[in-house]
Amino acid sequence: MPDFSNRNKNVFVLKMDRMIDRGALMSRYSRAASPDIRSVYDKEFAENNTRGSDFYRRVFLEYGDESVAELVTAQVGVQNVSNIASKAMEELRMGISFLEKSSRYVRYDRKVDGRYLYADPESIGIPSALQQEYNDHCESLFEFYSRTLPSVTDSLKKMHPVEKQTFTFSGNDTAYDDLEPGEKEIASKAYENALRARVLDDVRYILPASTLTNIGMSGNGRSFINLIVKLRNSELKECNTLADDLFGELEGELPEIIQSAGNRHGKELSGFMKERDSGDFSIRDASQIKDLRLVQHEDEEIAIRKITALLEYPHSTASLGNINVDTPSAEPIRRLAELRKNRRHKPGRAFETVHYLFEMNPTFASFREIQRHRMLTLIRKPVTAVNGYFTPELFSSEPEILSDYRKLMDQSEKLWKKFRIQAGIGHAQYVVPFGYRYPFAVYISLAEATYFCELRSTPAAHYELRKLSWEMADEMARVHPRLSSIIKFVDRSESGIGRIRAEARKEKKIRDMDRAKPY
């Protein structure tokens, strides 16, 4: 394989086999006099198999410059970890991209090697005296999940039969029975896909936090160092084991970089984090926490003045302090709002300077999706069973299912209390189902709030997140009526079975793509 995608253009892809060599070569940009880094490669790297490794070893030993570790990346698969450990990993917002198995689209009703997909109690540090009780409880939750899927699916079909659905083809909304045969085939597949997603949205609330998931990670060396240090600092055995496993795998791929996770600086950082995050966990009455509460916001006049000045700044030679905004006007914001034709038209960086502090209290299931918004600053607690639980819509119409669900959720609370005392607050998290409320603090900019509210209010989004996005938009409009005009595309339409329109668009694209294939 060639070392570069081309030898004569100013834009090229580095294609050396070893990632360590790619990173070392890119780092030479800062000090190489040669106008073409490819000539540096020919001179220093091509005939020297240890050049990249030697470079990183010298940089870390002599200078401690960890920024060069961002020039090497690795792709790592992490499988069969609990939803407690996966959330701890995904708190690392920058430098690593995460893609996790979705409980919205993947069924958890099948056993693997005779066991449902929940964490083995010994591997996660559950005391031996509690392991059988833990296993029995997780089995009960998964058995409820498995036996409930068919009946909830039938109920949803009766509530939203395919014959009552309308589909959009060529810009026209058409009833299912009036579709052409080819269109009806697409509509049927879309209906089944949307139906399955909608059912899984509800039934997953019973899954325990010990439910196993898989994660794909792509990140730079510096961020993997930080992740390993973070996991080593955890009180949880599962996270400690993950730290050792990640170190072992990455040491073979990026030895000169990843070893710094265990050097003096890494150990000092771990000690600092342990001290910083230490503290006794107190149990207090949390029954009055709202689904969403705006805790703090800026004065709208000040916020408008700031945004107006920053919008003008790139178009003026004046200093920021000399831009006249003594009489703030929302006119520039109104004009920008008019320019936005869809939610992909982002307001711009000036809107990142106005912030809101919210407290959210969704279910743990929904937190798992909210955490994916990397621009949010999230301050969270351990998962507990003290804030009550959510009852899915589809369960309410099935008395027997509803009764069993409530019994299992109540049993989960009792078991959580027992585990908290006998195993500690960290290990008690594993027995809490996704449906329990999980309050956390969110610090969010106006730019990110615009993105969040518009994306999470679409019919394809989970209905719990749709409600949160509506409430967030309403709170911002209440305190900032002029500023909030930038949030234009909050979708409050009826969702039915949610993803059906998105699934129809997807199925049509697949059919069109298949037709275009040469045979």
Confidence bin at 509 (pLDDT 50/70/90): confident
Which of 58, 41, 50 minimizes the C-alpha distance to 7?
A: 41
pLDDT at 86 over 80: yes
Helices 83-90, 237-253: crossing angle, 10 deg rounding: 60
Structure tokens at 23: 């990173």
CA distance 423 to 504: 48
User: What 8-state DSSP symbol labels residue 14?
Assistant: B
CA distance 222 to 232: 16
CA distance 305 to 326: 8
Confidence bin at 254 (pLDDT 50/70/90): confident
Q: How far is CA 130 from the centre of its chain?
A: 32
Question: Are the C-beta atoms of residues 486 and 475 closer than 8 Å to each other?
Answer: no
User: Among 75-79, 205-209, 281-285, 383-387, where is mean pLDDT lowest?
Assistant: 281-285
CB neighbour list of residue 298: distance below 8 Å, 6 or more residues apart: 354, 355
- Coil, helix or strand at residue 134: helix
Instruction: Report the pLDDT value the prediction gives residue 93, as an integer from 0 to 100.
Output: 79
Confidence bin at 135 (pLDDT 50/70/90): very high
Q: 185-224: per-residue pLDDT in tens?
A: 888 988 898 889 899 999 999 999 999 999 998 988 889 9
For the entire predicted model, the pTM comes to 0.88
User: What 8-state DSSP symbol labels residue 43?
Assistant: I
Phi, psi torsion values for 300, nearest 5 degrees: -65, -35
CA distance 256 to 253: 9
CA dihedral 176, 181, 185, 190 (to 10 degrees): -30
| H or E element, residue 19 | helix 19-27
CA distance 415 to 413: 5
- b/e map 327-341, b = 16+ CB within 10 Å: ebebebbeebbeebe
CA distance 464 to 396: 16
The domain ranges of the chain are 1-71, 292-393+420-501
Structure tokens at 151: 């009946």
Q: 20-69: per-residue pLDDT in tens?
A: 788 888 877 776 777 788 998 888 888 888 887 777 667 654 555 567 77
pLDDT at 436 over 90: yes
CA distance 240 to 246: 10
Beta-carbon count within 10 A of 250 CB: 21
Q: 218-245: per-residue pLDDT in tens?
A: 988 889 988 999 999 899 999 999 999 9
pLDDT at 454 over 60: yes
Which of 449, 483, 489, 496 minimizes the C-alpha distance to 468?
A: 449
Beta-carbon count within 10 A of 509 CB: 11
- Coil, helix or strand at residue 273: helix
Instruction: Report the pLDDT value the prediction gives residue 327, as an integer from 0 to 100.
Output: 60
Confidence bin at 325 (pLDDT 50/70/90): low
CB neighbour list of residue 349: distance below 8 Å, 6 or more residues apart: 310, 447
- b/e map 262-292, b = 16+ CB within 10 Å: beeebeebbeebeeeeeeeeeeeeeeeeeeb
Instruction: Report the pLDDT value the prediction gives residue 212, as an integer from 0 to 100.
Output: 95
| CATH number attached to the domain at 292-393+420-501 | 3.30.1360.170
CA distance 519 to 516: 9
Structure tokens at 244: 């050792």
Confidence bin at 324 (pLDDT 50/70/90): low
